[in-house]
Amino acid sequence: QVQLVESGGGLVQAGGSLRLSCAASGSTSTLDFAAMGWYRQAPGKQRELVAVIRVGNTTNYADSVKGRFTISRDNAKNTMYLHMGSLKPEDTAVYYCNVRNLFPSYVYWGQGTQVTVSS
């Protein structure tokens, strides 16, 4: 079993920056082979994928955050990061950390951290 804990959320003004962290603990021996991602969910909306980082550190981003957000991971620390810049009010949401693996198969979620961007 893997536990994920997000941190770094808060209240910022439009145009500001934040760095989110996701720390993994528990049965972490296979995490180097897993994909990790950030999702977000705004009130009344579906949860959406923000960014993903895979084995080999290949990355993908939602069109809405390309050029503004950067995802990274430190395998030695079992930690993933999301650097968010040029924040907009529409970035306001609860941000969730996600880890998934195929063999063995598992999916884990963190509890989320609130990001609020004021105009």
pLDDT value for 30: 86
Residue type, 25: S
- pLDDT at residue 28 above 90? no
Cα distance between residue 53 and residue 56, in whole Å: 8
Cα distance between residue 24 and residue 1, in whole Å: 10
Residue-wise pLDDT tens digits, 57-85: 999 999 999 999 999 999 999 999 999 99
Percent share of the chain, pLDDT over 90: 88
Cα distance between residue 12 and residue 118, in whole Å: 6
Residue 66 has what DSSP assignment? T
Please say whether the beta carbons of 115 and 17 come within 8 A: no
